[in-house]
Structure 1
Amino acid sequence: MRADLSAAADAVARGEAVVYPTETVYGLGADALDADAVEGVFELKGRSLDNPLSLGVPDVDTALRYTAPTPTEEAFMREFLPGPVTVVVERRTMVPDVLTSGKSRVGIRIPDHDVALELLGETGPLTATSANVSGSPSVTRLEDLDERIRTGAGAVVDGGETPGTESTVVDPGAGVIHRRGARADDIEAWLSDQ
């Protein structure tokens, strides 16, 4: 595992994308602050540039360097992260437009997975998107990884089979759940108490 993580960190430093496990599905990560690397992820997935990617970081304090959440949004982040939740908050200027499709807000993802967190600790912010070609099912086992992604990635970190439940995407400031997934009922309860 150590060799896989080192190879992945080296690939990210070269501007390449890597495949890594999370507590939901396998992710496709590249340097989220490097516009060219981010564009490479869109291209590798065959994803429209109009469909933003999320920003993966190892902890909430790191997320605060790249975002400007309200007190309510930060409280939500501290309650539900790390975990299978993507939290939409205001981004800071160092987050490239290509990541957010030019929008002022960005989805923050802090996976509750030791391997993913270790990788994020070594690389800095990564794109947080599923490691599949757009329109194809998410990948929970590396043997199901599309050949296009496998050959296009600079490294693949094997973390065994992942659970497969998608993250819930929520904008806690607006009180809106954009996509129901893991912990959606808990999130709905938290939002209703605000």
Structure 2
Amino acid sequence: MTEEINKAFDQLQSGNTILYPTDTVWGLGCDATNAEAVAKIYALKNREESKALICLVSDIRMLERYIEEIPEVAYELLEATNTPTTIIYDNPVGIAKNLVSADKTLAIRIPDDEFCQKLIRKFKRPIVSTSANIAGQPTPKTYKEISPEILKGVDYVVNLQNNKKASKPSTIIQLRSNGEIKVIRA
């Protein structure tokens, strides 16, 4: 795993895209602070930039560096949940502008996955995590279901295919600064 973390780290440092296993489904990723790298993900997925992407952080401290003000309920949710949960926050800072939604929000998850945790900690910045599919196509549940277009279009494929079991996307909850809570995907 260490070798794959180092290879993925080098790709992220170079502004490239990676295909990697997460705590949910296989993800397409890049440096979430690099607008050119984020644009590559949108192009690879054939996805409009107005449709937001998720990014991953290693822990609460990293989350606090990239969100202006975290609602108190977010801490409670993150502590209470036992399934992968992505939270949409208001007013992200220090993130590529094309990753921030028009309503000035950003979806962030703290993954419970050893590879993701070690990679993000080594990289010291958030990484994009979006399902490894062309926009409008089904989300692949296993590595074998990833389309040839994605496999050929990504700069690096993390070689941990045998370690990832079929899973499902995370729950998505939006927390607004005004206290509004909305479940986007259960």
- With normalisation by structure 2, the TM-score equals 0.88
Between the aligned partners of 2:19 and 2:97, the Cα distance in structure 1 is: 23
The two structures, once aligned, show a CA RMSD in angstroms of 1.7
The answer to whether the 8 A contact 2:132-2:140 is kept is: yes
Query: Which residue does 1:146 correspond to in 2?
Result: 147
Q: Does 1:175 align with 2:176?
A: no
Query: Which residue does 2:131 correspond to in 1?
Result: 130
Query: Secondary structure of 2:166's match?
Result: coil
Query: Which residue does 1:161 correspond to in 2?
Result: 164
Change (3 A) 1:92 1:161: closer
The answer to whether the 8 A contact 2:142-2:166 is kept is: no
Deviations along 1:37-77, one digit per CA (max 9) or x if unpaired, are: 11111111111111011121111211110012122223323
Between the aligned partners of 2:141 and 2:165, the Cα distance in structure 1 is: 5
Query: Which residue does 1:45 correspond to in 2?
Result: 45
Query: Which residue does 2:93 correspond to in 1?
Result: 93
Residue 175 of structure 1 aligns with an amino acid whose one-letter code is I
Deviations along 1:129-168, one digit per CA (max 9) or x if unpaired, are: 1111111222232222222221222221224333322211
Residue 75 of structure 2 aligns with an amino acid whose one-letter code is E
1:125: Cα distance to partner?
0.7
1:2: Cα distance to partner?
2.1
Query: Secondary structure of 1:40's match?
Result: helix
The answer to whether the 8 A contact 1:23-1:162 is kept is: no
1:74-85 matches, within 5 Å, as 74-80=75-81, 83-85=83-85
- With normalisation by structure 1, the TM-score equals 0.84
Between the aligned partners of 2:35 and 2:110, the Cα distance in structure 1 is: 21
Query: Secondary structure of 1:103's match?
Result: coil
- The number of residue pairs the alignment matches comes to 179
Gaps of 5+ in 2: none
The answer to whether the 8 A contact 1:18-1:28 is kept is: yes
1:12: Cα distance to partner?
0.8
